A = this chain, B = another copy of it.
Amino acid sequence: MNKIYLEDIPLEEARSRFHDAIKEAGLWNILGIERMPLNEKLVGRVLAETIWAKISSPHYHASAMDGFAVLANTTDGALETAPISLKYDAGTVYLDTGDPLPDWADAVIPIENVEGLDSKGRIAENPRKPEVIRIRSAVSPWSHVRVMGEDMVATQLVLPQGHTLRPVDLGAAAGCGFADIDLAREPKVAVIPTGTELVYPGDALRDGDIIEYNSIVLAAQLEEWGGIATRYPNTPDDYGKIKNQVIQAAVDHDLILLVAGSSAGSEDYSAQIVSELGDMLVHGIAVRPGHPVILGMINQDGKKTPIIGVPGYPVSAAITAEIFVEPLLGQWLGRPAVPPQEITAKITRKVNSPAGDDEYLQVAVAYLGEKPLAAPLSRGSGVITSLVRADGLVIIPRGIQGLQAGDEVKVRLYRSQAELMNTIFAIGSHDLTLDLMAQFLSPRKRRLASVNVGSLGGIMALKRGETHLAGSHLLDPETGEYNLAYLKQHIPDKKLRVVTLVGRTQGLFLARGNPKNIQGLADLERPDLSFVNRQHGAGTRLLLDYQLAQLDIQPDQVNGYDHEEYTHLSAAALVASGRADCALGIEAASYALDLDFLPFNNREI
């Protein structure tokens, strides 16, 4: 109970311990076979048999057109000037497309290529039932005939075992004589979210409550990968209750995902429960995010059931499932692994990574000209938006300290390259208009991927050719003018277009009602006030420095000057939550968080 440290098992070893135990339990196979009648719901299911054609398709010689069956050699010599006539029901007969060719015939002449005549030599009233047809061009044998087996010949391979069914595959299977097909049984997976702090989406929230959504994300992943998920209700951190859920789940599931409680905290019971009900194989893996993972094998009433203790942080949970659950489901379904779609891209900034861990780094990807760029997203394991915004994944393997800006990396893509070709990178200062622009572009076949690094960071990204556009609001203290001086200084030799996108009012975020009675920047000297600053290079920080200099206030006189936030909204959020008394930022963020706002006189443009 009082264990503090986890192990740090390399991913490969953890994986092989887990797989070895599954093999030993005799579970390293397809789980079973289900015979299903062919229907449209089978798309995505995995074939458990090879489809060898039972019958040929077509299974008879069929007319490929609406027209007249003939014996080809009876048309020999027919010319525009010397037509040949064939008697209906003797030398020819009308066929609709798909009709079987009569035994005596070996070709079809399309109806539009003959003259159908009545007994008096006039155009027949019913072109499909003339007395005679007149032909002005010979046909070769098998013209306009779909010969038996044209599509599939009995016994040929149509679909291999392990194939994941697509719509056309269902047609092919039906066409070569199958009414039912053998499919791999879908693995049943229990997802048990644990934690006393968990609440359901929509529940009233108090500090410390956590909205439980890992089980939704995991269940959705499982169903995408071909499994059937059972979502259990939230189970509080109660040793007995969690243990009971696991015992119950083991009865009729192939795999158990026990979510949260897999670390070594005071209320982390997963490890103990796994040990007690079976074997704990691994506790703690050298992977980021995802470190506190448990791999084990439950043994209850003679039935062995693999169990994974999934970390509670949402990014860790999703990545753990990708690493351990997806391949296991593939194995159980008999589905060959599809190689990931990878590209080589240039990483846009330095990334430190612990040498002992495999790190899974989410990146945004865009093309500037020919070369793809990968911009690292937030690495917080609690930041699910990094997964939402990710275009791909960079794996930084163990033994590598990290990446330097400009390093070439392999990126596993989550989106098609075509989508990434249509992605506009906006690296620079954050503004709410970027969200609105993203929303505007979304139905217009363009994606906006914004990465917030501040105004100066954006200008440097422009300089390095790493972004399509950069939001910037850098005040030149000499001239009082925005941006242009910085562009001239940093990018003197590149053609740029400067667009004045939006005017913004900067000022101080204050708690509703201004309880600390803050009247202006001069108050930042007050020792009873706490402030939140923006990061180095942010236009807002430059503005602050400029204003403080005007007021002759030294940075170290400002309580909280060193606390840096990266966006207007996150700075404002700290004031909203009472963590700080004021912060500098744009008016729109104060509306967003329902704060009071004390604008400067100079409107930033």
Contact = CB atoms under 8 A, between A and B. Distances in A.
A576 B53 CA distance: 15
A28 interface: no
A506 to B, nearest CB: 18
A407 B538 CA distance: 52
Interface stretch (A239-247, A441-449, A472-480, A515-523): A441-449
A213 B174 contact: yes
Copies of the chain in the assembly: 2
A147 B570 contact: yes
A174 B201 contact: yes
A2 interface: yes
Contacts of A221: 167
Interface stretch (A131-139, A300-308, A382-390): A382-390
B418 A574 contact: no
A314 B175 contact: yes
A40 B207 CA distance: 27
A169 B388 contact: yes
Contact of A385 (B55, B158, B339, B341): B158
A213 B171 contact: yes
Given A40-B229, A174-B211, A197-B98, A383 B563 contact: no
Interface stretch (A261-269, A273-281, A491-499): A261-269
Interface residues of A, number: 143
Interface string A540-580: 00000000000000000000001100010110111011110
Contacts of A579: 61, 106, 147-148
Interface stretch (A18-26, A330-338, A455-463): A330-338
Nearest to A588: B155
A336 B384 CA distance: 24
Contacts of A205: 55, 59
A57 B197 CA distance: 15
A38 interface: yes
Nearest to A51: B388
Interface in A145-195: 146-163, 166-172, 174-175, 177-180, 195
A605 interface: no
A318 B175 CA distance: 14
A179 B159 contact: no
A219 interface: yes
A223 B166 CA distance: 11
Nearest to A174: B213
B570 A149 contact: yes
A248 interface: no
Interface in A84-137: 94, 96-100, 103, 106, 111-112, 126-128
A562 B2 CA distance: 86
Interface in A373-388: 380, 382-385, 387-388
Contacts of A174: 201, 211, 213, 216
A141 B560 CA distance: 9
Given A142-B563, A220-B167, A160 B438 contact: yes
B161 A439 contact: yes
A600 interface: no
Nearest to A434: B157
A380 B418 contact: no
Given A98-B197, A174-B211, 10 more contacts: A4-B111, A4-B112, A39-B216, A40-B216, A149-B569, A161-B442, A167-B221, A171-B213, A174-B216, A178-B201
Question: Which 9 pairs across A and B sit closest by C-beta, in order of nearness?
Answer: A179-B202, A167-B220, A157-B435, A155-B592, A40-B219, A174-B213, A149-B573, A153-B569, A60-B207
Interface of A: 2, 4-5, 37-43, 50, 55-62, 64, 66, 94, 96-100, 103, 106, 111-112, 126-128, 140-142, 146-163, 166-172, 174-175, 177-180, 195, 197, 200-202, 205, 207-208, 210-211, 213-214, 216-224, 229, 231, 263-267, 312, 314, 318, 334, 336-342, 380, 382-385, 387-388, 416-419, 421-422, 432, 435-436, 438-439, 442-445, 562-563, 567, 569-570, 572-574, 576-579, 592-593
